[in-house]
Structure 1
Amino acid sequence: MKRQGGFTLIELVVVIVILGILAVTAAPKFLNLQSDARASSLQGLKGAMSGASGIVYGKAAINGVETKDSNTDVDGIDTIYGYPMATTDGIEKAVVGLAEDWDSFSQVVSAPANSITYSFSGSTAPTNFSTGCFVNYAQASSVSSGVSIIVRDNNC
């Protein structure tokens, strides 16, 4: 009779043990995917804010109001020095979906003056400006300053 070839039980157990060791060493690399996704979402929001403020500034320049230092309406968006203000009628109207998908916080400890902070829906207000998981939009403070958009993703 011809002997059939196959794996013994010990060979199968050794392979399963090796696969288990590989899975344990590779798992930590994949466990941090949610944090990376949150950080990427914040970077996307920063890009959306930057793009929207640039478009609004262009419209303000066409209208000749890019140097006004008071609340000026540009297509229904409150602006100052041509850029959206850090209010719900400013940057929130300029960025489509910002009010629906993100929570805003206007009073964050040590945040820049005339700024508004956004974080994920359902999140609590950031308690410290140096660490957290949020995007801060500070409106222009002069004709030459432009806006400041800061991302904190070290605690996502």
Structure 2
Amino acid sequence: MRRAGFTLFELVCVIVILGVLGAVAAPRFLDLSDEAARASVERHARSFANAVQFVRIEYDLEGLSGQVDNLPGFGSGDVDTNANGYPTDTANANTIPSNPTGANRCRNVFNGILTAPAPVCGGTLACTSAHVFQAVAIAAQNCEFLYIKDPSPARFFTYDATNGVVTVTNP
């Protein structure tokens, strides 16, 4: 009578081969998740920078000058700008202070100028696992959006509301 199945030797060989394949493939998959995090930060920073420029273009097209509350013709019509025409809030505020109020305004700008923003926390909104970015007012008129899904290495982009410049730090 012949028995069907694997011998102990065949089973050990299969386990060894699977172990070697796993050891070779695991670093590649970890590298892919790192690349995905880098791509996410780049994509959001580019989208944010484009939206900032669209706000500035609308400001110019409307022939506006000085601080503006509720920029007409852009988004929901609730974007506020500073005297230079760059977005600062969506709740009738034309500056970004370096305090929790500033972080709220940074979060408002992020949500107000992007069509489909990633979940962002900061200021009075505590961060949870559902959030992708944390808004921080790092200095007067400066916002930083930290990627919090993978905090090491630190990935973020900054927004300078005085001149509309968006700078990415994405190691």
TM-score by length of 2: 0.60
Match of 1:12?
11
Match of 1:139?
161
- Could you list the per-position Cα deviations for residues 9-30 of structure 1 after superposition, in whole angstroms to 9, with x for gaps in the alignment? 3133213212211211211121
2: distance between equivalents of 1:11 and 1:120? 47
* Structure number with larger C-alpha Rg: 1
1: distance between equivalents of 2:150 and 2:12? 46
Report how many residues are paired. Answer: 135
RMSD of aligned Cα (Å): 3.4
Asked if structure 1 preserves the Cα contact closer than 8 Å seen for 2:47 and 2:114, the reply is yes
Answering whether residue 146 of structure 2 is matched by residue 150 of structure 1, we say: no
Structure 2 gaps, min length 5: 73-77, 89-94, 97-104, 122-130
Match of 2:109?
91
1: distance between equivalents of 2:154 and 2:160? 17
Call closer, same or farther: CA 1:5–1:105 in 2, change over 3 Å: closer
Asked if structure 1 preserves the Cα contact closer than 8 Å seen for 2:68 and 2:80, the reply is yes
Higher RCO (Cα < 8 Å, 6 or more apart): 1
Match of 1:82?
85
Match of 1:106?
137
Asked if structure 1 preserves the Cα contact closer than 8 Å seen for 2:67 and 2:85, the reply is no
- Could you list the per-position Cα deviations for residues 19-70 of structure 1 after superposition, in whole angstroms to 9, with x for gaps in the alignment? 21121121112124443333222122212212211221221122112xx4x4
Match of 2:143?
116
Q: Which amino acid aligns with 1:29?
A: R
SS of the counterpart of 1:116?
strand
2: distance between equivalents of 1:7 and 1:123? 43
Structure 1 gaps, min length 5: 125-130, 142-146
SS of the counterpart of 1:46?
helix
